[in-house]
Amino acid sequence: MPVFAYKGRSARGELVQGSLEGADSGVIADQLLNTGITPTEIKLTSQAVRSGSNPEISLWKKLSTEKKVDTLELMLFSRQMYTLLKA
């Protein structure tokens, strides 16, 4: 299946980019809309997934570019974890 590179905006308005595999750009647009991303650009990058590519690297790249955890969320998580462990 062809691989498409996309750029879009999340529900929060943040710029999101990546690549997906699909039959055509319409299928990719539907997948993005179902995940809450409004596509702004979809381009064909290759006709097939390279067999030598490492999916873990692309996953790590996706995870490292996401929004970082802020201090308030960390405090709430820590408080809830403390309560859970104490129970």
74: pLDDT confidence band, cut at 50, 70 and 90? Answer: very high
pTM metric for this prediction: 0.52
What range does the domain containing 24 cover? Answer: 3-86
In the structure, what pLDDT confidence band is assigned to residue 53 with cuts at 50, 70 and 90? low
| Mean per-residue pLDDT over the chain, rounded | 84
Please give the torsion angle defined by the CA atoms of residues 14, 5, 22 and 53, in that order, rounded to the nearest 10 degrees: -110
Residue 38 to residues 8, 18, 28: CA-CA distances in angstroms?
A: 5, 13, 11
Q: For residue 55, is pLDDT > 60? A: no
Q: How many domains does the chain have?
A: 1
Residues in Cβ contact with 65 at an 8 Å cutoff, skipping those fewer than 6 apart: none
3-class SS at 63?
helix
Could you report the per-residue pLDDT of 6-44, keeping only the tens digit for each?
999 998 989 999 999 888 889 999 999 999 999 999 999
